[in-house]
Amino acid sequence: MDPTTGRMLNADMEFYRLAGLNDIPELKVHMMTGKGYDERGVIGLGEPPAVSPGATISNAVANALGVRVGILPITPDKVLAAMNQAQKAGA
């Protein structure tokens, strides 16, 4: 949002950058069904996939870089800032 005019600048799919097909690796879906699960009855499926990927990706980035990027989405500017800060702290 532009702070002066209050205009939303990324109100479309061009500027609101969602991951595309080429950005997402193969997904494996495991359904937790059977004894011990079925007894709980009907459980929503829409929300869980929205919760865990962020944490998973964030953990993968931390594992790869040794630096935690605490804010989603993890964009190049945030990764570079986190790495620069870690370098400074280490120096």
State which residue, 32 or 60, has the beta carbon closest to another protein: 60
Minimum CB–partner distance for residue 80 and another protein (Å):
5
Chain contacts with another protein (rule: CB under 8 A): 1-5, 7, 9-11, 14-15, 17, 19-23, 75-77, 80-81
Instruction: Compare residues 62 and 74 and give the one whose CB is closer to another protein.
Output: 74
Q: Find out whether 56 and 45 touch, Cβ atoms under 8 Å.
A: no
End-to-end CA distance of the chain: 36
Tokens of 73: 């989405």
